[in-house]
Amino acid sequence: MTEWRSMTLGKLCDEGGGEIRTGPFGSQLHEADYSSEGAPVVMPKDIATGRVDESSIARVSPEHVARLAHHKLAIGDIVYGRRGDIGRKALVTDREVGWLCGTGCLRVSVGDQADARFLFYRLGHPETVAAIRNRAIGATMPNLNTTILREVELTVPALETQRRIASILGAYDALIEVNRRRVAVLEEMARGLFEEWFVRFRFPGHEAVPIVDTPDGPLPEGWRWSTFGEYVAEVREGVDPSSVAACTPYLGLEHLPRRSTTLTDKGIAGDVGSLKLRFQRGDVLFGKIRPYFHKVVWAPFDGVASSDAIIYRPHSASSAAMALAVASSDSFVAMSVQTSNGTKMPRANPAVLRTFQVATDAGQWAGAYRAAVMPKIELCAALAASNERLAASRDLLLPRLISGQLSVTTAERQLEAVA
């Protein structure tokens, strides 16, 4: 530990010619300036698991980017959310270069005296996050500013050791990213196959099957229109919090990913005191509140969920894959938005969603779809579980490395065993 120095984050950035800057104020970037095209603007809501999620990111025109050029992101910058969930951060990669730091974020440019990846991980140390949280302003909606972040106390090793530590921790993240991309590909394959067979009707041998008109639209001969309710039942098994073991997996809306059917996060029941709904492995959970967020997942384990989710249980194993495909389709989600109740906080209407029309064959292609897709769904769940273990191993390493309990050389050997 003799090579480690104690200093503030602000001093570390200053030594290397970096800076800590607040994103543009609301007076500089108005709501009317945002659009669906142009350069992305990174807000706290877009920061997830250490990376920027652009699925619902706001954008601005090149004119606004030029006007706010001093807020442009560069590779190695750290975007740190300054409102709400303290500790939310993302490391800027090649993809985000030239994007804008948003109003609710702080941009940390580390300079040349620190390794950006090391500092990214160092800011994720539980004690550092707790220290920042304790200094945040406001109880209901904690806020940070440049002064608070600049005064964060850090212990920092020599630059070469920083790079070695960052390389170790980054290797875990690289394995996680490979699995994440495999999940994305598998999900896209399942989604594409459903659309090909049951929406475009381009199943194998479709050329020999005539399309016939029906009152509800054209269908291949021998097919019929069914409803989503024929595949699933809505389950509302309420459970009292006191009757649930504290370690039971809990799923709130905050745990359901957007536009992905693979669960990558969860809580525990002991941390939530409200009434919950029980779900079981194989159920489909649909985010009822603000359904336009497109939160639909397949449950890989038994647990309890917030009542803000609709729990659908397939009637049989043969309908499980179809149930997930239908519930996560763009047209199903669009219907949930169009028929939702409420304006400020729209809620999907389960009774209406049961009537959603589904093209159904005599059973051949539904069975073939299940055989092709269920192994992919199971593999996605296994990859997500592997990522959870990798992340846990990574998160255990940094405190031990910083405390001197584990040498960098030993950690490198452990990584070789994992890889």
Backbone angles phi, psi at 39, to 5 degrees: -80, 135
pLDDT digits over 9-67, tens only?
Answer: 999 999 999 999 999 987 898 888 998 889 999 999 899 878 898 878 999 999 999 99
Q: Is residue 372 part of a domain?
A: no
130 and 215 in a single domain? The answer is: no
Cα–Cα distance measured from residue 43 to residue 26, given in angstroms and rounded to the nearest whole number: 13
Cα–Cα distance measured from residue 361 to residue 384, given in angstroms and rounded to the nearest whole number: 33
Q: Measured between alpha carbons, how far is residue 401 from residues 85, 117, 120, 156, 165 in Å?
A: 26, 15, 15, 11, 8
Q: Is residue 394 part of a domain?
A: no
Query: Where a domain ends, among 363, 385, 410?
Result: 363
224 and 148 in a single domain? The answer is: no
Asked whether the beta carbons of 312 and 258 are under 8 A apart, the reply is no
pLDDT digits over 335-357, tens only?
Answer: 999 999 987 889 999 999 999 99
**Predicted local distance difference test score (pLDDT) of residue 140:** 67
Q: Is residue 167 part of a domain?
A: no
146 and 55 in a single domain? The answer is: yes
Asked whether the beta carbons of 288 and 310 are under 8 A apart, the reply is yes
What's the distance, Cα to Cα, between the start and end of the chain in Å?
A: 27
Asked whether the beta carbons of 107 and 78 are under 8 A apart, the reply is yes
**Predicted local distance difference test score (pLDDT) of residue 2:** 53
Cα–Cα distance measured from residue 249 to residue 269, given in angstroms and rounded to the nearest whole number: 6
Q: Is residue 171 part of a domain?
A: no
245 and 143 in a single domain? The answer is: no
142 and 219 in a single domain? The answer is: no
119 and 256 in a single domain? The answer is: no
Would you write out the chain's pLDDT as a tens digit for each of its 419 residues? 457 889 999 999 999 999 999 999 878 988 889 988 899 999 998 998 788 988 789 999 999 999 999 999 999 999 999 877 788 899 999 999 999 999 889 999 999 989 999 999 999 888 888 898 888 887 667 788 999 999 999 988 889 989 999 999 999 999 999 999 999 999 999 999 999 999 999 999 999 999 999 999 999 999 999 999 999 999 999 998 888 999 999 999 999 999 999 999 999 999 888 878 999 999 999 999 999 999 999 999 999 999 999 999 999 988 999 999 999 999 999 999 999 998 788 999 999 999 999 999 977 898 999 999 999 999 999 999 999 999 998 888 888 887 767 888 888 887 777 66
| Sequence-distant (≥ 6) Cβ neighbours of residue 293 within 8 angstroms | 56, 253, 258, 287
**Predicted local distance difference test score (pLDDT) of residue 405:** 77
pTM of the model: 0.84
pLDDT digits over 361-387, tens only?
Answer: 977 898 999 999 999 999 999 999 999
**Predicted local distance difference test score (pLDDT) of residue 410:** 85
137 and 246 in a single domain? The answer is: no
Measured at the CA of 38, the angle between CA 35 and CA 40, to 5 degrees, comes to 85
**Predicted local distance difference test score (pLDDT) of residue 125:** 86
Query: Where a domain ends, among 341, 363, 385?
Result: 363
What does the DSSP assignment read for 336-350?
HHHT-B-SSS-B--H
Domain coverage including residue 39: 5-156
340 and 262 in a single domain? The answer is: yes
229 and 350 in a single domain? The answer is: yes
127 and 222 in a single domain? The answer is: no
3-class SS at 297? strand
Query: Where a domain ends, among 363, 379, 403?
Result: 363
**Predicted local distance difference test score (pLDDT) of residue 418:** 67
CATH code at position 274: 3.90.220.20
Q: Is residue 234 part of a domain?
A: yes
Measured at the CA of 326, the angle between CA 324 and CA 331, to 5 degrees, comes to 140
Q: Is residue 37 part of a domain?
A: yes
Residue type, 13: C
Q: Is residue 415 part of a domain?
A: no
146 and 267 in a single domain? The answer is: no
**Predicted local distance difference test score (pLDDT) of residue 136:** 84
How many separate domains does the chain show?
2
Q: Where are the beta strands (DSSP E) in 180-326?
A: 211-212, 219-220, 224-227, 232-234, 238-239, 249-251, 267-268, 276-279, 284-287, 296-298, 303-305, 309-314
141 and 251 in a single domain? The answer is: no
Q: Is residue 399 part of a domain?
A: no
